[in-house]
Amino acid sequence: MDVRQIPQIDKTAFESIALDSTAPLVVRGLVEAWPAVQAGLDSDTAFLNYLSGFDSGNAFTAMKLDKTQRGRVFYNEDLTALNFSYERINFDAFRSELEQAAESGNTWYAGSINLEHWFPGFDQSNDLSIHRDELKSIWIGNQTRIAPHFDFPANLACNIHGERRVTLYPPEQLENLYIGPLDFTPAGQPISLVDSLAPDYERFPRFKLAEEAALTTTLQPGDAIVIPSMWWHQIEATAALNVLVNYWWRDSPSYHGSPLSALQHALLGFRDLPQNQRAVWRNLIEYYVFNEDDAAHSHIPANSQGVLKPLTETTASELRKTIQAHLK
């Protein structure tokens, strides 16, 4: 099924319609007027020349895959190592590798590169401020395949150059995606172990259910997609040079911390308890964390509810200190 899409709209309408969408949404031509997009319409070289004008000279970390991996950022056969190497490289050298990739067959990929630090001024010249306290990053590479994964922040991904195929799965498809390790991942987020281009249905039979629920789209230069928080998404970059700029933001204060870190802490504290104790703790967590009944704690005077009330930056800081003290 195709991702819902809307034609190019003005910025005000975009912010009110698209950014709060709870389902993926494609906006065609959202950033087609950006100078970066226009520069790339001439050629890959023209785009790289344009981006070079903002290069800070600072080295960044890139992934290098040999040609046998066909651009799939993943693990080795038995998941004991990654199938790529991390390389510290500056933009001039990275550009040279990309320009030679057709001959070498290697894949080079630099993801989540902070625009302000590595390409200062690019954002000011290619502006799409969305007023969400967003983190702005650029992603550059040749042909790559990024396995289905989720991000906690919401994501506005703008395709600047090349072509990207995006496949999305609703959050509830977790069990059908056969997710790999939580503590050993290619880029920080757990990923699906299924090769979606050649799925092994004997090993991963429920993946057929995920495929039935999947949404797909192809992004051309200037197109953008809104990926809501926690939606699984696979990104395939198909051209010789592919560039994406994305904006991440969260709908809760940053002082709340990372839910993934809380999940990892829960594994440490609960997962290996005896079954009867786990059942008790499941009830406690449901009551204290996921209970939406505002009256659940009304029997406690308001000035004594502490962390049971909505967290402020102060109470969140105090709670974090308590947790850190317990960890010691």
Give average pLDDT by consecutive 10-residue segment, the chain, 328 residues: 85 76 94 97 97 98 97 97 98 97 95 97 91 91 98 96 98 98 95 97 98 98 96 98 97 92 93 97 95 89 91 93 85
Closest to 248 (Cα-Cα) out of 51, 113, 140: 113
Q: Which of 192, 220, 251 is the last residue of a domain?
A: 251
232 plus 319 within the same structural domain:
no
pLDDT at 243: 98
136 plus 278 within the same structural domain:
no
156 plus 303 within the same structural domain:
no
pTM attached to this predicted model: 0.94
172 plus 272 within the same structural domain:
no
How many domains does the chain fold into?
2
CATH of the domain at 237: 2.60.120.650
167 plus 265 within the same structural domain:
no
Task: Provide the domain limits for residue 33.
Answer: 5-251
80 plus 202 within the same structural domain:
yes
pLDDT at 213: 98
134 plus 56 within the same structural domain:
yes
Q: Which of 251, 274, 292 is the last residue of a domain?
A: 251
pLDDT at 11: 66
- Give the HSE-up count for residue 170: Cα atoms under 13 Å, Cβ half-sphere: 9
pLDDT at 281: 97
pLDDT at 97: 97
Alpha helices, DSSP H only, in the chain? 11-17, 35-40, 44-52, 91-104, 115-118, 122-125, 207-213, 259-269, 275-285, 313-327
